[in-house]
Amino acid sequence: MRGSFSRRQWLAAAAATVQPVPGWIESVERTQLWSNLDGRSQTWFHPRICCLPTGQLLMTIQVIGGSDYFGPVHWSVSDDAGRSWTRPVPIPGMGRRNVDGGIEEGYCDTVPEYHAKTGTVLAIAQNVYYKDNRLTRPNEQRWPVYCVRSMDGSWSATERLEWNHPEATALYMSGCAQRIELASGDVLVPLTFGPLGRPDRGVCTVRCSFDGKRLKAGPNGNILRLSCGRGLLEPTLAKLGATYYMTIRAENGQGFITRSADGMEWEPMRPWAFDDATAIEMSTTQQRWLVHSDGLWLVYTRKDPSNVDVMRWRAPLFMALVDEKRLCLVRSTERIALPLEGDGVRDGKGVEHLGNFHANPVSREESLISVGTVIAARAYSGTVRMARIKWAHPNRLV
């Protein structure tokens, strides 16, 4: 059943802003899919999209009701390149289950990706625990979980990705991550992990086999570390030509980039900066890749005069071209993909936060950036927004 849009939502979509920009980007079109800014319904969050060979788009999404407090994972599809979506439906097995002591186990940070070798969609998430309608952190290990959508549209049961690394005794996770499918069908999965008794986490990639039903962890590459706060978080991958890239969230006021010839052994990481050597100030927020055959782009948040009062500078969403040799961003190409809504200087608490987002190509001509926004001070009201990137040159990698 097609999800219903209010008249206001349809008018907003019809009047979506189109911003001409130079370089390889022809335009950026912005639309709103769902809205709960009035607080009368529910706020959808974590919208992440993958492209199916049929031309359909598949989205996973879930409701947010508090700080890191999420409902069951749902799915939705679009037949018109993401302009309209079916009403979200729960994924069986990705809801909640009772644990001892009044604790519930749920799932979050789901990323669906089409797996070409098997013709399935592999959705990887992570488990999480709740008590009394809020996030809790019991003495329980956390790990990645996955489920599979078959070609007939059915979803498998949820399974745990087993990884018995001696330094992953407290947790290991792959939440929100972009992954790489290799020619063999194996999947490069980036992990953040840590042992009991050590607060800072390391990151690495793990080569996993996948037969359309079972995801099995194989060898891992070298480990990268940063001894600050929780260390390194939410690594995510991209490949352009023969080179692999990883961008990493951190808690020292920076984000980091590294590259690899095989996706396993990574160079020493370096902090993100512009090509004029200006450091880019980031505040423990994820970054995402947008791959085009003419170049590699990064989508990110950063400190800016417009957002000085916004928590972790989580609006607007910027994008810029990566200098692949110097591993920095080309300042002259930076554009706003999704703008700050509100006053980020005088009323940061009233600004929609854009810190959890995803980016992926959907055709030779277009890529999509999807984000669930929230205003925590207004009972986590928010919207689902999308930026449609129209490329000046067709994308040869799609």
DSSP string computed for 231-243: BEEEEEEEEETTE
Which amino acid appears at position 202 of this protein? G
Nearest-angstrom CA–CA distance, 221 and 237: 14
pLDDT grade, residue 370 (50/70/90)?
Answer: very high
- Asked if 244 and 263 touch (Cβ cutoff 8 Å), the reply is yes
Architecture of domain 23-391: 6 Propeller (2.120)
DSSP string computed for 67-111: TTEE---EEEEESSTTSS-BPPEEPTT-S-EEEGGGEEEEEEEEE
Instruction: Indicate if the pLDDT at residue 57 is higher than 60.
Output: yes
What single-letter DSSP state applies at residue 293?
Answer: T
Q: Where are the domains of the chain?
A: 23-391
% of the chain beyond a pLDDT of 90: 87
Average pLDDT along the chain: 92
pLDDT tens string 101-160: 899 999 999 999 999 999 999 999 999 999 999 999 776 789 999 999 999 999 999 999
What are 281's two structure tokens?
């100030």
pLDDT tens string 171-195: 999 989 999 999 999 999 999 999 9
> Of 351, 355, 359, which is closest to residue 381 (Cα–Cα)?
351
pLDDT tens string 1-34: 334 334 344 334 433 444 444 458 999 999 999 9
DSSP string computed for 99-141: EGGGEEEEEEEEEEEEETTTTEEEEEEEEEEEETTEEE--S--
What are 298's two structure tokens?
């990064």
What are 135's two structure tokens?
């996030």
Q: First CA to last CA across the chain, in angstroms?
A: 29
Q: What is the reported pLDDT for 3?
A: 41
Nearest-angstrom CA–CA distance, 27 and 395: 15
Backbone angles phi, psi at 175, to 5 degrees: -65, 140
Residue 255 neighbours by CB under 8 Å, 6+ apart? 247, 248, 249, 271, 272, 280, 282, 285, 287, 300
Strand partners, 387: 30, 369
How many secondary structure helices (H) and strands (E) does the chain include? 1, 31
19-26 long-range contacts (CB < 8 A, ≥24 apart) are: 19/335, 19/336, 21/335, 22/333, 23/321, 23/333, 23/392, 24/292, 24/294, 24/295, 24/321, 24/391, 24/392, 24/393, 25/335, 25/389, 25/390, 25/391, 25/392, 26/390, 26/391, 26/392
Measured in whole angstroms, the distance separating CA 353 from the mean position of its chain's CA atoms is 14
Instruction: Indicate if the pLDDT at residue 46 is higher than 50.
Output: yes
What are 249's two structure tokens?
């969230």
Mean per-residue pLDDT, 295-318: 97
Backbone angles phi, psi at 305, to 5 degrees: -55, -25
